[in-house]
């Protein structure tokens, strides 16, 4: 049973649904009830309920590059979660050049893509595209979610911070402007990369962060602590 509507604003602990629904990001399950973890906007995709935090919402802009997960397949488009109050859509014409049937044969629900924001209309419908260098479907890897406004700190001046993480962990890392980060490498190195990415998200406002991140990377890699519980 659903107790809220898509785009409703909810508060921590508020009951969103019971029984037949699944908890997504920003929610937790208690007995048979799905509750909100924080203040945010409800996002309902099929039978999954998520809550997008208002304090860290991503507002799409034309030209942004983002990482999105396919949540819906329709006759001529895919629907995507782009870590925003506003869902994105990828028209079939952006993939085929003209619309065709059988979209599930190309991308399916749960697939993760690197895309470009092609247009945002007056009602915040976000049109996405795959035409551009490096855009497309990711294979494997893990996703890490950070505050979108802290993306520049994760990247660093001229890419210094993100390149250091890539070099130390030997992971492939792609950062979306929507605060979604894709990481792929050795499983232990993925965990270490995730730890320091979340560390940067927590401590972005502090001085001396680059040195602390470097020291943390060296220590974690040396001691093999990628399996420790991740905070944040």
Residue 51 tokens, joined? 């809550």
Q: What is the pLDDT of residue 224?
A: 75
**pLDDT above 70 (res 164):** yes
* pLDDT for the residue 232: 39
pLDDT in the model for residue 100: 53
Three-class secondary structure of residue 104 per DSSP: helix
pLDDT(104) > 70: no
Determine the pLDDT at residue 231. 40
Sheet strands (E) in 1-124: 9-10, 15-18, 22-23, 27-30, 33-36, 40-45, 48-53, 65-73, 77-81, 88-91, 112-120
pLDDT in tens, 48-63: 999 877 666 788 999 9
Per-residue model confidence as pLDDT tens digits over 75-88: 889 999 999 988 89
Q: How far apart are CA 230 and CA 193, in angstroms?
A: 11
Q: What 3-state class would DSSP assign to 95? A: helix
Q: What is the pLDDT of residues 7-34, one digit of tens each?
A: 888 888 999 999 889 898 889 988 899 9
Q: Which residue has the higher pLDDT, 74 or 164?
A: 164
| pLDDT over 90 (residue 187) | yes
Domains along the sequence of the chain with CATH? 9-53 (2.40.50.100), 65-137 (2.40.50.140), 142-223 (3.30.1370.10)
pLDDT for the residue 163: 98
């Amino acid at each position: 049973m659903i107790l809220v509507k898509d785009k409703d604003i909810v508060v921590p602990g508020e009951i969103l649904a019971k029984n037949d629904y699944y908890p997504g990001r920003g929610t937790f399950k208690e007995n048979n009830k799905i509750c909100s973890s924080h203040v945010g906007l409800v996002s309902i995709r099929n039978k999954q309920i998520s809550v997008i935090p208002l304090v860290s919402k991503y507002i799409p802009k034309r030209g942004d590059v983002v990482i999105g997960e396919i949540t819906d397949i329709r006759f001529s488009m895919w629907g995507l979660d782009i870590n925003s109050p506003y869902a994105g859509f990828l028209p079939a014409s952006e993939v085929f050049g003209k619309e065709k049937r059988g979209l599930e044969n190309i991308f399916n629900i749960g697939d993760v893509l690197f895309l470009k924001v092609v247009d945002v209309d007056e009602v915040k419908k976000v049109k996405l595209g795959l035409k551009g260098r490096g855009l497309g479907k990711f294979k494997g890897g893990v996703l890490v979610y950070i505050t979108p406004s802290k993306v520049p700190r994760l990247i660093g001046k001229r890419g210094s911070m993100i390149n250091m993480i890539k070099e130390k962990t030997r992971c492939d890392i792609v950062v979306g402007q929507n605060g979604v980060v894709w990481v792929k490498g050795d499983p232990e190195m993925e965990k270490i990369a995730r730890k320091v990415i979340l560390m940067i998200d927590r401590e972005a406002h502090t001085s001396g962060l680059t040195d602390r991140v470097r020291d943390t990377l060296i220590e974690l890699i040396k001691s093999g602590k990628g399996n420790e519980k991740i905070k944040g």
